[in-house]
Amino acid sequence: MNNLNIYKEKLRESGLRPTRQRLKICEALFSPKETFHFTINDLSKIIEEKLDEKISLATVYNTVHAFKKNGYLKEIFIAT
């Protein structure tokens, strides 16, 4: 099973529709071989530059929030 099908299956299991935007966000977040920290703006730039896809900040924010709610991402706070 390729990554795209895995992403679709996981999204459906979580009650989320596997839209084109969500699949691109999955590709940006879960395809790299190592984990990374990001802000919503960082992730939006990664998607635009590396995956050649323009997704609104609101969509990126809402998708990241949904992924966090379903346990796919973990939010950490860094004191400044």
Per the domain annotation, does 77 fall within a domain?
A: no
Is the per-residue pLDDT at 79 higher than 90? no
Residues counted in the chain = 80
Note whether residue 75 is domain-resident.
no
What angle, rounded to 10 degrees, do the helices at 57-69 and 20-30 form?
70
For residue range 38-74, what is the model confidence (pLDDT) as tens digits? 999 999 999 999 999 999 999 999 999 999 999 999 9
Q: How many domains does the chain have?
A: 1
- Residue 33 is predicted with a pLDDT of 81
Average pLDDT for 9-35: 92
Mean per-residue pLDDT over the chain, rounded: 92
Domain that holds residue 33: 3-69
CB contact at 8 A, 29 and 66: no
Query: pTM of the predicted model, to two decimals?
Result: 0.88
Q: What are phi and psi of 29, to 5 degrees?
A: -85, -40
Q: What is the CATH number of the domain that holds 7?
A: 1.10.10.10
Looking at the predicted structure, is the pLDDT value of residue 1 above 80?
no
Give domain status of residue 29, yes or no.
yes
Residue 16 lies in a domain: yes
Is residue 76 assigned to a domain?
A: no
Burial 1-23 (b: 16+ CB within 10 A, else e): eeeeeebbebbeeeebebeebbb
- The answer to the question of residue 74 being in a domain is no
Cα 42 to Cα 45: distance, rounded to the nearest angstrom: 5
